A and B are shown apart, each in its own frame.
Chain A
Amino acid sequence: AQKITQTQPGMFVQEKEAVTLDCTYDTSDQSYGLFWYKQPSSGEMIFLIYQGSYDEQNATEGRYSLNFQKARKSANLVISASQLGDSAMYFCAMRESGGSNYKLTFGKGTLLTVNP
């Protein structure tokens, strides 16, 4: 079974509008972390936002916020006021607890296109 599911292979949004990228996860751990990364066409992986499983409040970083619904095991990324530069591949990832095993398991990504 997939541990991270991103059901939207591609998304389109108009500039200045908000967009939500979906991510659901599967884990039996109580302690885990959820991450979003952005990969523009230039190829680098850029960390956007992090949510710990015990964090009570949803994480926010500038125009990025993470809509964390623990019972539903979802960690959707919300980008407000989209900009042309937001066009990129977005990956949701999870880090599960387990000693020193800090690997990230990634979803398949969502390609976001921001239209002018």
Chain B
Amino acid sequence: DTAVSQTPKYLVTQMGNDKSIKCEQNLGHDTMYWYKQDSKKFLKIMFSYNNKELIINETVPNRFSPKSPDKAHLNLHINSLELGDSAVYFCASSPFDNEQFFGPGTRLTVL
């Protein structure tokens, strides 16, 4: 029944490792997003895909690479993790230009 799901919910890893976060939506939406929420709760768009095509890439280090195998999935792969990557990462989806539905978030802690 979950509309937008993310795995894992928590991710603790060492600096320098590579990790992935998966996102799936069962709402039939065309557009999916990745947002980063920092320790001060500020939310910022990272990427957006529309029908598997990248449409937004907001000055994110190229260590971050999104991949959309199909319209329902948008994964985020992060190479060479740094301390500053610690944050909560939210996936979201939306139909056309309406409200965005957010996943539960993935709390990433880099040690």
Contacts and interface: CB of A to CB of B under 8 A. Distances in A.
B97 A33 contact: yes
B101 interface: yes
Nearest to B104: A44
B51 to A, nearest CB: 9
9 contacts: A43-B107, A44-B105, A47-B99, A47-B101, A101-B56, A102-B96, A103-B45, A103-B56, A104-B100
Contact of A106 (B31, B44, B104): B44
A36 to B, nearest CB: 10
A47 B100 contact: yes
Contacts of A33: 97
Interface residues of B, number: 27
B56 A108 contact: no
A interface majority secondary structure: strand
Contacts of A101: 48, 55-56
A68 interface: no
Interface residues of A, number: 22
B41 A102 contact: no
A69 to B, nearest CB: 21
B41 A104 contact: no
Interface of B: 31, 33, 40-45, 48, 50, 55-56, 58, 88, 90, 92, 94, 96-102, 104-105, 107
B43 A91 contact: yes
A85 B42 CA distance: 22
A35 B42 CA distance: 16
Contacts of B31: 100, 102
A55 to B, nearest CB: 13
A81 to B, nearest CB: 24
The 4 closest A-B pairs by CB, nearest first: A45-B102, A103-B45, A106-B43, A47-B99
Contacts of B107: 43
A108 B42 contact: yes
Nearest to A104: B100
